[in-house]
Amino acid sequence: MKTIPLVHKKLSVVLFGVASAFFIPALAGVAPAVAAPSVAGLPDFTDLVEKTGPAVVNIRTTEKAKVSQQGNAATDDEEMQEFFRRFFGAPIPPRQQQPAPRGRGKAAPEAEEEVPRGVGSGFIISADGYVMTNAHVVNGADEVYVTLTDKREYKAKIIGADIRTDVAVVKIEGSNLPRLAMGDSNKIRVGEWVIAIGSPFGLDNSVTAGIVSAKARDTGDYLPLIQTDVAVNPGNSGGPLINMRGEVIGINSQIYSRSGGYMGISFAVPIDEAMRVADQLRTTGKVTRGRIGVQIGEVTKDVAESLGLPRPQGAQVQRVEPGGPAEKGGLEAGDVILKFNGVSIERSSDLPRLVGGTKPGTRSVISVWRKGAMRDLNLTVAELEADKVVKKEEKKPKAEQVANALGMIVSDLSAAQLKELKIDGGVLLEATEGAAARAGLRAGDIILRLNNTDIKDARQFNGLVAKLDTKKTTLLLVRRGDSSQFVTIKPLAQ
């Protein structure tokens, strides 16, 4: 319990835990409160919130769990734990189990019960009930419920979800619903005022304000994110980021946090990219992307100088997929891709976004720097397969594992998993902590290479880690879904 003094010495506000309760005792002779005058130079958000708030919704999801009459829920919280680790840096508290009733010796049959899974936010994009939110808000849910500000609640249908951009669309049955106008995220300016509306910690229609801190942050695989200092917390995910004209310019998606709560940095999916994804989800229920079959890396200053490039730019080809579009088009390892269909590649992250946004089957021109000269190559863009998730297999119970010096617990991949992923070796990341968690690695990632050594199994990997110099940075080749990328990580001192 915390007491916060107000202007009047006899008044106080009492804050109880997370759910706030306010009590102000009646005082004789106290004049009615007078609205504070607006301060010149500061924005007034009242009209903006009044205009946009009704189109922002609360989204709660449930899952079906097997519950016996003893009250034990046979559920698996791993997905929700991963959700909180990934986006908020802290685990969700475990579900409380009810005390078991006294039985008569026989085990009661199990029945399915709908139990709460998570809470998020969203916003209505059409008067007939299409709602946009984050993919991680609805993924894995058995039921999705949408609640409007006037307390009307609808059961929603998931139209589609795209993990790579973290965008999802759900549909409720309604008409003449309030909706938000879409803005142009390409026209946002660093320093402009924005607001976020959502349900942090389940508190419906909470409004926070701030400014755009940066544009085009490379924290997403297929799109640059908008960075703001708007307070965003668990439950805000999927809510709109709104400019002063009342237009949506982004979807609040992630925060940087070491505590599990807001720490001054939040990220939003640009609405232009989100709407392109949403349009495909509404039309086909999925998102189709292009691929050319190369593994790329950043061009450093030293590499640029050694290759004769005037400045560090482009995407360096590290590996060409055998039989893929790039190989058929003549690309080679060591090439530096400088343009794709005439669009300059400033950073390596620009290439997968441009290629991903190209319709499969499109004939494209790639300009590469090879042996001190520029040349154009022609290829046909192929279709990127959907993310492949490693299926969990039944394993015998074993002693509790301890994280290695990189902060990782890994296990061997089965022959079936190797075949499904079309790889010869690697280890499955089971859990992370310390340095590995700070580097952004998470359960489900596949470690393919450590520095220059290909990984075959967990024993070999842990042996190599044990020999690492804890003062030097280590390079890992990590596969997540259908993409592979290099991740730098500094080992923990033992």
Task: Confirm whether 136 is a catalytic residue.
Answer: yes
Residue 404 tokens read as 């290695």
Specify whether the CB–CB gap between 115 and 107 falls below 8 A. no
Q: Are 344 and 402 contacting, i.e. CB atoms less than 8 angstroms apart?
A: no
β-partners of residue 411 are 428
Report, in angstroms and rounded to the nearest whole number, the Rg of the chain calculated over CA atoms.
Answer: 26
Catalytic, 237? Answer: yes
CA dihedral 447, 450, 454, 458 (to 10 degrees): -60
Q: Which of 136, 185, 206, 367 is catalytic?
A: 136
| Contact partners, residue 246, CB within 8 Å, separation at least 6 | 48, 51, 52, 180, 181
Instruction: From 92, 104, 164, 172, select the one nearest 134 (Cα to Cα).
Output: 164
Range 95-108 burial, b when 16+ CB lie within 10 A, else e: eeeeeeeeeeeeee
φ, ψ of residue 98 to 5 degrees: the values are -75, 150
Q: Quickly list DSSP for 429-440.
A: EEEE-HHHHHTT
Pick the catalytic residue from 121, 162, 166, 445: 166
HSE, CB side, 13 Å, CA atoms: give it for residue 253: 27
Residue 77 burial (CB count, 10 A): 16
CA gap 232, 54 in Å, rounded: 19
- For residue 326, the cross-strand partners are none
Q: 334 in the Ramachandran plot: left (φ > 0), alpha (ψ -120 to 50) or beta? A: left
Query: Which position among 185, 199, 206, 237 bears the catalytic label?
Result: 237
Count CB atoms within 10 A of the CB of residue 56. Answer: 29
Active-site residues: which are they? Answer: 136, 166, 237
